[in-house]
């Protein structure tokens, strides 16, 4: 069971890293002066969606860490 959880976390980590990589590509495209306004708007929307996905995943991990730290603090106080 533990290996399954570790595998899921590894997949999520890779996905987050992929999102960051894709976001960098979008930003690079936005910096290109030859991109039309319509394409820039589409890229901007795509980038905002990616940022939201990254924030959701980071928030989820942060909540898990807080939960784990709370559990560890309870064990220490016993």
Tokens 């820039």 belong to 40
pLDDT at 71: 72
pLDDT at 1: 55
Q: Quick one: DSSP state of residue 34?
A: T
36: left (phi over 0), alpha (psi -120 to 50) or beta: beta
Tens digits of per-residue pLDDT, 34-66?
999 999 999 999 999 999 999 998 998 899 999
Helical ranges in 1-78 per DSSP H = 2-31, 37-77
Tens digits of per-residue pLDDT, 7-36?
666 656 668 889 999 999 999 999 999 999
> Contact at 8 Å (CB) between 26 and 57?
no
> Contact at 8 Å (CB) between 57 and 18?
no
pLDDT at 72: 62
pLDDT at 25: 96
> Contact at 8 Å (CB) between 23 and 58?
no
Token output for 68: 């784990």
């Amino acid at each position: 069971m533990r290996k399954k959880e570790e595998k899921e976390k590894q997949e999520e980590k890779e996905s987050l890293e992929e999102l960051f990589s894709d976001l960098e590509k979008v930003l690079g495209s936005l910096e290109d002066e030859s991109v039309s306004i319509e394409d820039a708007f589409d890229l901007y929307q795509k980038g905002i969606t990616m940022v939201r996905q990254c924030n959701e995943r980071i928030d989820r991990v942060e909540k898990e860490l807080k939960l784990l730290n709370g559990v560890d603090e309870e064990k220490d106080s016993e």
